[in-house]
Amino acid sequence: MTMNPKLSLGPVLFYWPRDTLFDFYAQAAEMPVDIIYLGETVCSKRRSLGSKDWIELAARLSRQSDKEIVLSTLALIEAESELKTLRRLCDNGRFMIEANDIGAVRILSKKGIPFATGPGINIYNSASLDLLASKGLKRWVLPIELSNQTLRQIQLRRPEGIETEVFCYGRMPLTLSARCFTARSHNLPKDDCQYKCIDYPDGRLLSTQEQQPFLALNGIQTVSAKTCNLLPELPLLKELQVDILRISPQSTHTGKIIDAFHKALLNQGASDLGKYMPLGPCNGYWHGVDGQAELNSSGNR
Amino acid sequence: MELVCPAGNLPSLKAAVDNGADAVYFGLRNDTNARHFPGLNFNEKRAREGIAYAKSRGKRIFMAINTYPRPEGWERWTQAVDSAASLSVDALICADIGVLDYASRHWPDLNLHLSVQASSTNYEALAFYHDAFGIKRAVLPRVLSLSQVRQVVENSPVDIEVFGFGSLCVMVEGRCILSSYVTGESPNTHGACSPAQFVEYRETSTGLESRLGGLLTDRYDQHETAGYPTICKGRFAVGENTFYAIEEPTSLNTLALLPELYRAGVKAIKIEGRQRTPAYVAQVTKVWREAIDSCRKEPEAFVAKSAWIDSLDQVSEGTSTTLGPYYRPWQ
C-alpha cells in the first residue's frame, strides 16, 4: 500500500509586511500541513524578518505544533553579506535547511549537516541526485520544468532515504536576474527600489500587448501569472511515490487551498480551486509540454 | 588574460584562430550544448578538423556539454563526454552535476570548466564544484557587478572567466525557464532559448508582430527593425506602461571595463555568439585581441579606442551595447 504524501507550505516568495507574515504563520500553525518552509528566498533587501527573526519564528512554530520546520535560503547569492546570512542560517543547529543555491549545499555538506534542496537546484537526472545524496541530501524538490515522465525515471533509481517533493500549487518561480523588474517597472534602479515589491503581495502582473496575462514580477524573480495546480493529479503523484506535495503561499485563501489538498488526501471529495486562481490554472510542465498549458488528466489540451 | 571565442562551425573556428583567439569553444550537433540551433555546431569529423587547425597554431579548444540531461537522454551526454575525451579537447565546459560527476570519474585527466549554465555566482558554490569534481575554471553568470566579480575572484579556488561581449542574457543562466513556459523547450532541457521553430512573424494592419509559441512578444511600427522574439527582450504591459519590461534588445560590451577586470584577476574573457556568422567572430575576435594586448601592455593607460567600439557596435544585437550588470545602475 502506498503511503499518503505529506503536505508542505513552501516559503513565501513575495514581500509581505512583518505583521502579515506573523499573522499568516500563526494561522499556518493550525493548518493541516506537515512541513513549513520559512525564510526569504528572493531578495536580501527585504527586511520584514531578518535571519534571527526567521529562526525565532521557526522555534515558536515548532513549540506550538508538531510540524516540521525547515529554513529556506536565498536563491541567488551574490554579496558577501548574503553569504554571512546564509552561514547564520546553516549554523542554526536545529532546523533542516532547504538549500536554494549550491553555495548553501557546499557549506552544509562540508559541516556534515543533512539538507534539502529547493526547486531552483537543478537535479534533472539520477546521477545528480546520487551525487547530492552522497553529500548529505535528504530531500529534493523536483525542478519546476520537469515532467511526470522524467520524475518516474528518477524515482525508479532514487537512492534510499531520499524524499521527493513536488511543487503542486502556486505561481511558479520561472527565473532570477540581477535586475529588479519591479523597481524597473516603476522606473527605479535596484539600489533605490523603495521596496516597491511590498505593494504586490502576489507579484506585479505583466501582460502581452494583446492583454494576455503572462508573468508576475516579484523583484529579481519572475513567476508565472497562471497558478500551477496539480491537485487533480493526485492519483499519479501517489503512484509515483511522491513524499511531499508543496503548496506555495499566496496572499489570500492559502488555508482553503491546503484544506482542499488535505480533504483529497483523505478521500473526502474533490474541490474546485478555480476561484482561488485569479488568472486560471496551468499544469503543462507536469505533462511535459509548455508550462503555461492546462491539460486534463489524460494529457489533452 | 585569455580570449575565449565562439565557433558554431568550422569557418567560425578558423576565423577565431586566425584573428587572435587564445581558445575556441564549440559544441556537438545535438541538445548536449546550449546553442542547439538548426544547422549549427560540429559532428565528430568536423570537430577533429577544427581541433587540428587550432592546435597546430598553438590555440586551445574547449567543448561545451552544458545542458541538463534528463534520464530519457542520459546516454547522449555521456557519449558526448566520451567523444570530448577521445578528441583530446583542452577542456570540457559542463553545468550538470551528474555530467560533471561522470566526466570526473571516467576521464580524470580531462580539464573541467564550470559552465555559465551552472548558475554559480559565489565562491562557496565554486568551491563545491572544485571539491567534488576538481573543476579548474568557472564562467560567471552575467548577473554580478564589478565589485562582486572582484570578491568572487579573490576567494575562488578556481580561475574565473567572464563574459566580455555578445548577446546579453539578463537572467541567471541555467535558472531561467521562460522559454519552456511558452514553448516546452528551455536552454536547460533542449539547449535553446526561444527555439526557432516556435518563432512567427505576422504582418497585420497594426504593423509587424513577433510571436513565440503563439505568444505576442512585440509589435513594430514601420520604422523599427523587428528583433528575434527572445521572451525577455519583448515589449510588455506592466501597469500603465508598455515597454521593454525585462531588457532592451542590446548586447553586452565590457570593453571599457577591461583594465578593471584584468586587475581583478579575471583569467579569461568569453565572447558570446556560437550562433553568429564567421564574419562576426572574426571582427569581434580581432577587436578584443587588440584590446587585451593593449591592456596587458599598459593597463593604467588603457583606453577603449573608438574604432574598436564602432566595430563592435556594428555587430551588436539592436546595434547598441551596455555594460550590463557589471555597472550597478543597470540592475
Q: Does A120 touch chain B (CB under 8 A)?
A: yes
pLDDT for residue B104: 98
The sheet carrying B207-212 orders its strands as B199-204, B207-212, B215-220
- Pick from B70, B118, B124: CB nearest A150: B70
Q: Do B219 and A209 touch (CB under 8 A)?
A: yes
Q: Are residues A173 and B180 in contact, defined by beta-carbon separation less than 8 angstroms?
A: no
Q: Helix (H) and strand (E) counts for chain B?
A: 11, 15
Nearest to A5 by CA among A265, A283, A271: A265
Angle of CA points A245, A200, B176, to nearest 5°: 55
Inter-chain touch B239–A185, beta carbons under 8 Å: yes
Percent of chain A with pLDDT over 90: 94
Establish if B165 touches chain A: CB-CB under 8 angstroms: no
Determine the pLDDT at residue B222: 85
Over 70: is that where the pLDDT of A2 sits? no
Q: Do A178 and B331 touch (CB under 8 A)?
A: yes
Q: Inspect the interface and report whether the beta carbons of B245 and A102 lie closer than 8 Å.
A: no
**Under a CB-based contact definition with an 8 Å cutoff, are residues A223 and A13 in contact?**
yes
Q: Which three cell numbers stand for residue A210?
A: 494583446
Determine whether the interchain pair A103/B122 forms a contact, defined as Cβ–Cβ distance below 8 Å: yes
Domain spans in chain B, listed from the N-terminal domain onward? 2-168+250-330, 188-243
Average of per-residue pLDDT values in chain A: 96
Answer whether A106 sits within 8 Å of B128, measured CB to CB: yes
Q: Whole-angstrom Cα distance, residue B199 to residue B230?
A: 9
Amino acid at A222: T
Nearest 10 degrees: CA dihedral of A160, B105, A101, A97? 30
Question: Is residue A294 included in any domain, yes or no?
Answer: no
Check residue B320 and give its pLDDT. Answer: 67
| Residues 210-269 (A) with a CB less than 8 A from some CB of B | 210-212, 214-215, 217, 222, 224
| Domain presence at residue A190 | no
Q: What is the pLDDT of residue B318?
A: 65
Classify burial at B287, counting beta carbons within 10 Å of its beta carbon; exposed 0-12, middle 13-18, buried 19 or more. buried
* Residue A75, pLDDT score: 97
The total number of structural domains in chain A stands at 1
Which of A116-125, A188-197, B96-105 has the least mean pLDDT? A188-197
For A277-290, how does the pLDDT look when each residue is reduced to its tens digit (9 = 90+)?
999 999 999 999 99
Q: Residue A157: which CATH number?
A: 3.20.20.70
Q: Which residue among B124, B129, B181 places its CB closest to the CB of A83?
A: B124
Which pLDDT score, from 0 to 100, does residue B250 have? 82
Angle between helices A102-111 and A80-90 (to 10 degrees): 40
Pairing type for strands A221-229 and A163-176 reads antiparallel
**pLDDT, tens digit only, all 331 positions of chain B:** 999 999 999 999 999 999 999 999 999 999 999 999 988 999 999 999 999 999 999 999 999 999 999 999 999 999 999 999 999 999 999 999 999 999 999 999 999 999 999 999 999 999 999 999 999 999 998 888 899 999 999 999 999 999 999 988 889 999 999 999 999 999 999 999 999 999 999 999 888 999 999 999 999 998 888 888 999 999 999 999 999 999 888 888 999 999 999 999 999 999 999 999 999 999 999 999 999 999 999 999 999 999 999 999 888 866 567 888 888 888 8
Give the one of B98, B239, B328 whose C-beta lies nearest to A191's C-beta.
B328
DSSP-derived pairing of the beta strands B207-212 and B215-220: antiparallel
Asked if B245 is an interface residue toward chain A (Cβ–Cβ < 8 A), one would say yes
Tell me whether B328 touches chain A (CB under 8 Å).
yes
- Write the CB contacts of B157 (distance below 8 Å, at least 6 apart in sequence): B123, B126, B127, B130
Q: Cβ contact (<8 Å) for B145 and A178? A: yes
Inter-residue contact A118 to A166 (CB < 8 Å):
no
User: Is the CB of B151 less than 8 angstroms away from the CB of A79?
Assistant: yes
Angle (CA) B128 B132 B133, round 5°: 115
Stretch (H or E) spanning B263: helix B258-264
In the predicted structure, residue A3 carries a pLDDT above the cut 90: no
Torsion of CA B29, B32, B34, B38, to 10 degrees: 30
Task: From chain B, pick out residues whose CB is under 8 angstroms from the CB of A149.
Answer: 72
Cα–Cα dist B56/B51, whole Å: 8
Interacting residues of A106 by C-beta distance below 8 A, sequence separation 6+: B124, B125, B127, B128, B131
Chain centroid offset of residue B114 CA: 12
The verdict on residue A248 lying in a domain is yes
B298 Cβ contact list (under 8 Å, min separation 6):
none
- B123: chain A residues, CB-CB within 8 Å: 103
Q: What are phi and psi of A234, to 5 degrees?
A: -50, -45
CA distance B13 to B42: 10
Q: What is the CA radius of gyration of chain A?
A: 18
Using the Cα atoms of residue A99, residue A290, residue A176 and residue A169 in order, give the sign of their dihedral. Answer: negative
Beta strands in B198-326 (DSSP E): 199-204, 207-212, 215-220, 236-238, 241-243, 251-253, 268-271, 321-322
Grid cell locating A60: 515558536
Domain spanning B2-168+250-330, CATH architecture: Alpha-Beta Barrel (3.20)
Count of helix runs (H) and strand runs (E) in chain A: 9, 12
